[in-house]
Amino acid sequence: MWYYIALGAAIVSSACGQILLKTGATEGAAGFITQVFRPATIIGLGCYGLSAGAFIFALRGIPLAVAGPTSALTYVAGVLAGVFLFKEILVTTQMVGIALVIIGVVLLNQT
């Protein structure tokens, strides 16, 4: 059970990393170097590090064939964050793609 909690933590922290990197990249008009050293960007990179550590722990008890594809839920969270936090537009084909990712994850976890 702890391995699945770690996998969930990896997914959540990776999604947080995506959101923070997007925030750091869109705060005002600035050069790339300035964006890299914004607090949101630095914290976002830290979230990715935390995600990697949690994922490594999860792999101790979950087969890669299950854990790897399940981590694709990070992308689902990223799309939803884009829509709700950044007011990005989601078109029908993207909705179908997200549904297919979710269906694939559910099927892979039927063991």
User: What's residue 16's pLDDT?
Assistant: 97
Residues of the chain where predicted confidence (pLDDT) is lower than 70: 29, 111
User: What's residue 88's pLDDT?
Assistant: 93
pTM of the model: 0.89
User: What's residue 67's pLDDT?
Assistant: 94
What's the number of domains the chain is made of? 1
Q: Which domain, by its residues, includes 65?
A: 2-108
CA of 69: how far to CAs of 32, 45, 75, in Å?
Answer: 32, 22, 11
Helical residues (DSSP H) of the chain, grouped into ranges:
2-26, 32-36, 39-58, 64-70, 73-86, 92-108
User: What's residue 102's pLDDT?
Assistant: 95
84, amino acid identity = F
